[in-house]
Amino acid sequence: MDKTKEQFEANQALWNQKTEVHRDSDFYKNEAFLAGASSLNDEEVEAIGDVSGKSLLHLQCHFGQDTLSFARMGAHVTGVDLSNKSIDLAKEQAKKIGIDAHFVCCNVLDTRKHLSEQFDIVFTSYGTIGWLPDLKPWAEVVQQSLKPGGMFVIIDFHPMLWSLDDKFEQFGYPYFNRKTIIEDTEGTYADTEAAIGGKSYSWNHSFAELFESLKSQGLTIETFNEYDYSNYNCFPNVKEFAQGKWRFPQHEDRIPYMYLQKWIKPI
């Protein structure tokens, strides 16, 4: 079998295992979500602005909490994810809360085989491009999925963070996309004790690689922010220093944790 196909299949199996654990975890606060709480953070909400009446495509949507949160704000939403269990759960959740949403199970790189529509907004967040070996075909999907004048927003963990070792103390991995990172994982960030695990395949992407991939598709950048905190408690031993904001005590505010970019497809 093609090596990349095998790697995607291993990642899919892993994300399938994670889905139910995540649904039941304190991390994802699913009961609160079902009861009406938004899973979105101020950073992405402010960057995207009013979504009411707009079409929104959420790439790598996991089990759809963010997708459905945008729907609650009035967007017409479509979510795409590789994990069939995540997509099944996303559909179940949509039904439970009475939201009309479209969810598609596929590799993000195959999105255009499943969707011909173009969207006002394409969104992806927190733990996304690291699952892709090459950003060029991904950027092509983003471009092809946007209407002229449409906006693409990515908010994700900073590439510098992924160049730190597993304890996030010193440099441990190449900052650049030099090799496939193969890990034997146990548990998950949302529940480190969960009895799940397996091989994962991921890739680091420098900012230059990200920039070049989207720029070469003709998109223009409008916003680029870096943040000295994480919105999620998904790294070992991070401490909450303000409500919902996390940092490593060993690094505090001296390193970047997240970034946001807003790109526009010219008319």
Ligand X SMILES: C[S@@+](CC[C@H](N)C(=O)[O-])C[C@H]1O[C@@H](n2cnc3c(N)ncnc32)[C@H](O)[C@@H]1O
Residues linked to residue 191 through DSSP beta bridges, in sequence order: 188
Per the listing, tokens 């009411």 go with 52
Q: How far is the CB of 124 from ligand X (least distance, A)?
A: 8
Packing angle between helix 84-97 and helix 3-23, nearest 10 degrees? 40
Residue closest to 145 by CA, chosen among 115, 190, 107: 115
| Torsion over CA: 178, 179, 185, 188 (sign) | positive
| 62 near ligand X (CB under 6 A) | yes
Cβ atoms of 56 and 121 within 8 Å: the answer is: yes
Using CB under 6 A as the binding rule, the residues of this chain from 82 to 101 that contact ligand X are 82-83, 86
Whether 196 contacts 230, CB under 8 Å: no
**Rounded to 5 degrees, what angle do the CA atoms 114, 115, 119 make?**
155
Which of 65, 145, 177, 200 is close enough to bind ligand X by CB under 6 A?
A: 65
Between 53 and 166, whose beta carbon lies closer to ligand X? 166
Q: Taking contact as CB under 6 A, which single stretch among the options 47-55, 127-135, 169-177, 253-261 is the one that binds ligand X? A: 127-135
Q: State which residue, 15 or 248, has the beta carbon closest to ligand X.
A: 15
Say how many residues touch ligand X, by CB under 6 A. 19
4 burial (CB, 10 Å; 0-12 / 13-18 / 19+) is middle
CB of 61 within 8 A of CB of 67? yes
Single out the residue of 103, 119, 131, 162 in contact with ligand X (rule: CB under 6 A).
131
177 touching ligand X, by CB under 6 A: no
Between 7 and 206, name the residue whose CB sits nearer to ligand X: 7
Least Å from the CB of residue 258 to ligand X: 12
Question: Looking at 15, 157, 246, 257, which residue binds ligand X (CB under 6 A)?
Answer: 15
Residues 251 and 101: their CA atoms lie apart, in Å, by 41
Is 30 a binding residue for ligand X by CB under 6 A? The answer is no
CB closest to ligand X, residue no: 127
Whether 44 and 153 have beta carbons less than 8 Å apart is answered as yes
Q: Min. distance of Cβ 25 from ligand X in angstroms?
A: 11
Residue 188 as a binder of ligand X (CB under 6 A): the answer is: no
Give least dist CB 267 to ligand X, A: 29
Task: Pick the closer one to ligand X by CB: 126 or 263.
Answer: 126
125 touches ligand X by CB under 6 A: yes
Q: What is the CA radius of gyration of the chain?
A: 18
Shortest Å, Cβ 254 to ligand X: 25
Residue 81 found at the interface with ligand X (CB under 6 A): yes
Strand partners, 92: none
Residues making contact with ligand X (CB under 6 A): 8, 11, 15, 60, 62, 65-66, 81-83, 86, 107-108, 125-128, 131-132
